[in-house]
Amino acid sequence: SQALLRFVSLSLGKGNVYQAHQYARVIFRLRLIELFIILALAFPLGWILAHNFYHQPILALPITLAFASVGGVLLGDYFVTLLQAYEKFGMAALLTILNALIKLLALVVVLSLGQPTIILITLAFVLGPTLVAVLALLVAPRIRQHTPIATRTIITIFHFSKWMALWGIAASLAGRIDILLLGKFSSAYETGIYSVALRVAMGFTLIGSSLSTVLTPKVSRLIHDKNQLQRQFIRIFQVVGILIVGMAIVALLSPWFIPRIFGITYLPAIPIFYSLTIAAAFFIASLPASVSLLALGLSKWISLMSIVQLIIVVTIGVLTIPSLGGQGAALALIVAYAVIFALNTSYAVKKIFT
């Protein structure tokens, strides 16, 4: 997905529609290969997991359906990302919302039947991604299917994507391992308090991720013009500064809305939320650099930074969680995001302004 977003946007920014179609075709074929592999493995994996792992043979069909539905998710994601590369963000957002609405409506229908089965509930979840994939196919930009694919295009995508795959794994672990460490080194109560604070702070992360999705194709189209790239970098920093001020205001209001939403039992989540807001501020502040580095194709650097982030979170978490609990987990995130902000920003400034 990151390769599709970056290379198609880059080619369109240069006015090279032919090359943009080449990149889109290669990645579409890779998605189809993934889809067919998943479909081929869905039934044997469903049977093995149901019989040998869960020891519930009745789960074989639902698990098979769940695996098979990943194909719809992959295709839907491809077309939504293609729309984003063409900067058709409204349609991409509409399809994403439609996916959630279809799943919700399907679940309501299934539950209203009175005796919902696990197969019907699984089908309700499968329906959303499948229908969205079909609709996305109809509204996505047309790609020339007879465009010859150069070997160099395939190699370029492979070298970029292998590092982005490593980034995805390390970043996912770094974003989830705090809860695992709390469960290991702290109490269930402390984990619950932290989870509430983290759930509220996730709103900041979602805003940052959404902003990154919008900015990546825009910045990718500018990398051939250094002056425009420099101006865009400064503009993004200005937007980020406004967002951080808004985050600080939300944090100051948290003593009012957290007890009203979650109850007075979760008052101890407020100071943890303050700390997580600081961590999120460093995450948001890193956006100008991370988006620019991705647009410049520096996937190796990005993946290495995600590994550094994971190491910091684990190391500081293990050292501080036993004594500080949720604040220790939050401290680990603050240090990790602060270090990544400093390293990414200094490297991006070097690449863009020198």
Please give the model's pTM, rounded to 2 decimal places: 0.79
Say if CB 274 and CB 201 are below 8 A apart: no
Does 259 score more than 80 pLDDT? Answer: yes
Each residue's pLDDT tens digit, 288-302: 999 999 888 888 899
Lookup result for tokens 């410049």: 296
Alpha-carbon separation of residue 125 from 56, 86, 103, 136, 228 (angstroms)? 21, 28, 5, 18, 44
Say if CB 306 and CB 174 are below 8 A apart: yes
Say if CB 268 and CB 325 are below 8 A apart: no
User: What is the per-residue pLDDT for 147?
Assistant: 60
Each residue's pLDDT tens digit, 149-193: 777 878 888 888 888 888 888 888 887 888 888 888 888 888 889
Q: Nearest-CA neighbor of 240 among 292, 283, 294? A: 283
Please give the distance of CA 3 from its chain centroid, rounded to a whole number. Answer: 14
Each residue's pLDDT tens digit, 286-341: 999 999 998 888 888 999 999 999 999 999 999 999 998 899 999 999 999 999 99
101: tokens are 């609405």
